[in-house]
């Protein structure tokens, strides 16, 4: 098991929330026409950080596992969940070693989760077996123009290929304005994907 990550532990030890307390707006948009439910199933949030997206999913009715390799970030995630009156399970782990299991998840999210390419391909390669039937995957990630598949920030065509055999519901690459805490401010190029296991 990971013992934490000095860079991210230091960032999350700063005052306030590095990326804000509100959930990612692309993630929120996936639930804009769905009222909260008590029976949504199990969700896992990769690279969760300080808990903003995991707390939102718990509020929607999911049993949520928040994964990160920063112990400091996960401590703040638990505090945020308690403040909002929801429960989340926090798992300290490195994505390079993470096994998503088989038929485990109704939803997997990766919001600005940008590991090295070998880790990303290994992780996305597990989604076909890890998601339950009709399980969904929601991704937003920063993109570098003309990045190759070996880059942590590839474009949407590369990501789409890596996510096979999931069925794409939505896929878009664009410049957009981010306003999330201290570190996500201004114009950024991102890829947004929603996919489902048929």
pLDDT tens-place string over residues 14-61:
999 999 999 999 999 999 887 777 678 999 999 999 999 999 999 999
**Thinking of the domain 6-196, which architecture would CATH place it in?**
3-Layer(aba) Sandwich (3.40)
**Threshold 0.85, pTM exceeds:** yes
Output the CA torsion 159→162→163→165 (10° steps).
140
Which pLDDT does position 38 carry in this prediction?
A: 67
Largest CA distance in the chain: 44
pLDDT given at position 5: 81
Give the pLDDT of the chain (198 residues) as one tens digit per residue.
345 688 888 999 999 999 999 999 999 999 988 777 767 899 999 999 999 999 999 999 999 999 999 999 999 999 999 999 999 999 999 999 999 999 999 999 999 999 999 999 999 999 999 999 999 999 999 999 999 999 999 999 999 999 999 999 999 999 999 999 999 999 999 999 999 998
Contacts of 91 (CB under 8 A, 6+ apart): 65, 66, 67, 68, 74
**108 phi and psi angles, rounded to 5 deg:** -120, 130
Domain boundaries defined on the chain: 6-196
């Amino acid at each position: 098991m990971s013992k934490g990550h000095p860079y991210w532990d230091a960032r999350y030890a700063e005052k306030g929330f590095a990326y804000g307390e509100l959930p990612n707006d692309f993630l929120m948009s996936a639930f804009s026409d769905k009222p909260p439910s008590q029976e949504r199933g199990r969700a896992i949030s990769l690279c969760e950080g300080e808990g903003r997206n995991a707390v939102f999913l718990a509020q929607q009715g999911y049993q949520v596992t928040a994964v990160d390799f920063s112990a400091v970030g996960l401590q703040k995630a638990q505090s945020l969940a308690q403040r909002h009156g929801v429960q989340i399970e926090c798992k300290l782990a490195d994505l390079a070693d993470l096994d998503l299991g088989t038929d485990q998840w109704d939803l997997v999210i990766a919001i600005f989760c940008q590991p090295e390419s070998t880790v990303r391909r290994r992780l996305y390669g597990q989604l076909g077996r890890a998601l339950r039937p009709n399980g969904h995957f929601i991704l937003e990630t920063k993109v570098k123009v003309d990045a190759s598949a070996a880059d942590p920030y590839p474009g949407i065509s590369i990501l789409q290929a890596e996510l096979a055999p999931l069925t794409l519901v939505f896929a878009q690459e664009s410049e957009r304005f981010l306003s999330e805490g201290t570190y996500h401010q201004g114009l950024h190029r991102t890829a947004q994907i929603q996919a489902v296991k048929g």
